[in-house]
């Protein structure tokens, strides 16, 4: 049994929480002075630190959960897991296999949606933590490989392949665990499959019958999901969660937006909209178009509030050359500058340092390329 799951481990966690705000060396010394074995003291302090980080994903429940660093990194946020489980349940699923369940975030959501869950995790420590996190729910956790899991009796498979190795991100799908060839083949074995993947998923890898969905939470792009065998599938879906409310934009992902040129209002689409190739569909919702077909900034003649993108008023165009740009911004008293850019290989932080601004005013500078010409637009955020 993992030491933290023993009675001594439970006591060490309580003691670690009491000293967690101290300097780490001081906290460790206090635990050892209280009789906690050094290795257990270090593990308890690490676990308390992970629990505090996990509040952003799990809320108050994080205080009683168990995490590994990779497990927390890849774990699904509660809001995202809950909406996924609801869609699976609405499709008529009753028994789901969670392959690569990690610390159990999605298994918990499936069980709370009324499903019976067969959860599988390769790493023994993570599997033990998943079992502890899911205790009391209709979830059977098994330590083993996804490839060897018996899928008979389940009507839906959820797979979240491990995309980290030796504390580094894995970008080659063939190096996932389980590998891409196994993951994508699950759709041929069960009626319904749901694959959680990195948001940088190459569109060329998407199987033709599947729906590809990108999900963002309060502007942060968190995952791509492939759905197969579901009655409400579309080709591409952008799901935007803002302030606890869900907004969904759908389309083919193949339509090109109208090119209208630079207009008086600029929209910066949500990253889920951009990654799902639904910029054209978004542009129609604000009666807008693009200045350049390769650049995902939408321009319109009137402002509209939209959950799918931030709106800015374009105040004026400034010189792009750094020296002239610095002079123009200083003459306007701008000392606080948000910099947005697309299709230009510049680092906003480096640009901001180089501009050396001072003054009482704030603004947003949008850098983009129109054709072969880089342009700088001074904007005022409206939303």
Nearest to 73 by CA among 213, 170, 218, 150: 170
Q: How many beta carbons lie within 10 A of that of residue 213, not counting itself?
A: 24
Q: How far apart, in whole angstroms, are the C-alpha atoms of residue 97 and residue 156?
A: 6
pLDDT tens track for 252-310 = 999 999 999 999 999 999 999 999 999 999 999 999 999 999 999 999 999 999 999 99
Cα 175 to Cα 31, 161, 172, 251: the distances in Å are 40, 10, 5, 31
Q: DSSP secondary-structure letter at 203?
A: G
* Alpha carbon 267 to its chain's center: 22
Domain boundaries, the chain: 3-56, 72-250
DSSP structure string for 341-361: ESSS---HHHHHHHH---SSE
- The CA angle 317-318-323, to the nearest 5 degrees, is 170
Report helix, strand or coil for 107.
helix
Cα 296 to Cα 3, 211, 260, 285, 383: the distances in Å are 51, 22, 13, 15, 18
More confident site: 3 or 165: 3
Q: How far apart, in whole angstroms, are the C-alpha atoms of residue 182 and residue 198?
A: 17
The CATH architecture that domain 72-250 belongs to is 3-Layer(aba) Sandwich (3.40)
pLDDT band, residue 368 (cuts 50/70/90): very high
Q: How far apart, in whole angstroms, are the C-alpha atoms of residue 5 and residue 97?
A: 25
For residues 66-79, average pLDDT: 94
CB 380 within 8 A of CB 363: yes
For residues 147-160, average pLDDT: 95
What percentage of the chain exceeds 90 in pLDDT?
A: 89
Nearest to 64 by CA among 45, 48, 83: 48
Q: How many beta carbons lie within 10 A of that of residue 354, not counting itself?
A: 14
Average pLDDT of the chain to the nearest whole number: 94
- How many CA atoms are closer than 13 Å to the CA of 101, on its beta-carbon side? 36
pLDDT tens track for 155-207 = 999 999 987 776 777 777 888 889 999 999 999 999 999 999 999 999 999 99
> Is the per-residue pLDDT at 27 higher than 90?
no
For residues 67-91, average pLDDT: 96
- State residue 175's pLDDT score: 81
Q: % helix / strand / coil in the chain, to the nearest 5? A: 35, 30, 35
Q: DSSP secondary-structure letter at 286?
A: T
- State residue 166's pLDDT score: 67
- State residue 1's pLDDT score: 78
Extended strands (E) in 13-171: 95-99, 116-121, 139-143, 156-159, 164-165, 168-169
Sheet holding 309-318, edge to edge: 289-290, 298-300, 265-269, 309-318, 373-381, 361-370, 334-341
- Among 74-78, 114-118, 173-177, 271-275, the range scoring the smallest mean pLDDT is 173-177
pLDDT tens track for 11-25 = 999 999 999 899 988
Look at the block and give the residue holding tokens 């165009």: 317
Q: How far apart, in whole angstroms, are the C-alpha atoms of residue 214 and residue 276?
A: 6
Q: How far apart, in whole angstroms, are the C-alpha atoms of residue 27 and residue 20?
A: 6
> Is the per-residue pLDDT at 124 higher than 70?
yes
- State residue 164's pLDDT score: 72
- The CA angle 176-182-188, to the nearest 5 degrees, is 145
> How would you class 234 by CB atoms within 10 Å of its CB: exposed for 0-12, middle for 13-18, buried for 19 or more?
middle
- Among 15-19, 97-101, 141-145, the range scoring the smallest mean pLDDT is 15-19
Tokens of 241: 């969660």
- The CA angle 55-339-256, to the nearest 5 degrees, is 90
């Amino acid at each position: 049994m993992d030491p933290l799951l023993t009675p001594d481990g439970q006591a060490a966690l309580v003691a670690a929480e009491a000293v967690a705000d101290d300097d780490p060396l001081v906290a460790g010394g206090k635990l050892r002075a209280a009789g906690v074995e050094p290795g257990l003291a270090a593990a308890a302090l690490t676990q308390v630190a992970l629990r505090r980080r996990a509040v952003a994903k799990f809320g108050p429940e994080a205080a009683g959960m168990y995490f590994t660093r990779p497990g927390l990194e890849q774990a699904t946020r509660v809001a995202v897991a809950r909406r996924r489980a609801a869609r699976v349940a609405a499709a008529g699923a009753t028994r789901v296999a969670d392959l690569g369940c990690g610390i159990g975030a999605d298994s918990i959501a499936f069980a709370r949606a009324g499903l019976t869950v067969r959860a599988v995790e390769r790493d023994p420590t993570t599997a033990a933590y998943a079992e502890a996190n899911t205790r009391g729910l209709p979830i059977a956790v098994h330590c083993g490989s996804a490839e060897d899991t018996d899928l008979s009796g389940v009507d839906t498979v959820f797979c979240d392949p491990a995309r980290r190795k030796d504390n580094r991100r894995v970008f080659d799908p063939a190096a996932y665990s389980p590998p891409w060839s196994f993951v994508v083949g699950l759709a041929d074995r069960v009626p319904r499959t749901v694959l959680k993947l990195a948001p940088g998923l190459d569109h060329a890898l998407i199987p033709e019958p599947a729906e590809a969905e990108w999900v963002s939470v309060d502007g942060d792009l968190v995952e791509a999901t492939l759905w197969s065998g579901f009655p409400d599938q579309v080709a591409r879906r952008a799901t935007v969660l803002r302030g606890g409310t869900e907004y969904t934009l759908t389309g083919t992902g193949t339509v090109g937006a109208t090119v209208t040129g630079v207009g008086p209002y600029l929209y910066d689409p949500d990253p889920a909209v951009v990654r799902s190739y639904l910029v054209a569909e978004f542009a129609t919702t604000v009666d807008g178009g693009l200045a350049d077909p390769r650049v995902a900034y939408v321009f319109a003649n009137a402002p509209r509030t939209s959950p799918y993108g931030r709106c800015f008023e374009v105040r004026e165009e400034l010189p792009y050359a750094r020296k002239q740009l610095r002079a123009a911004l200083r003459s306007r008293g701008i000392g606080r500058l948000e910099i947005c850019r697309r299709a230009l290989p510049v680092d906003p932080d480096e640009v901001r340092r180089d501009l050396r601004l001072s003054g009482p005013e704030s603004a947003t500078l949008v850098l983009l390329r129109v054709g072969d010409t880089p342009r700088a637009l001074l904007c005022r955020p409206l939303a």
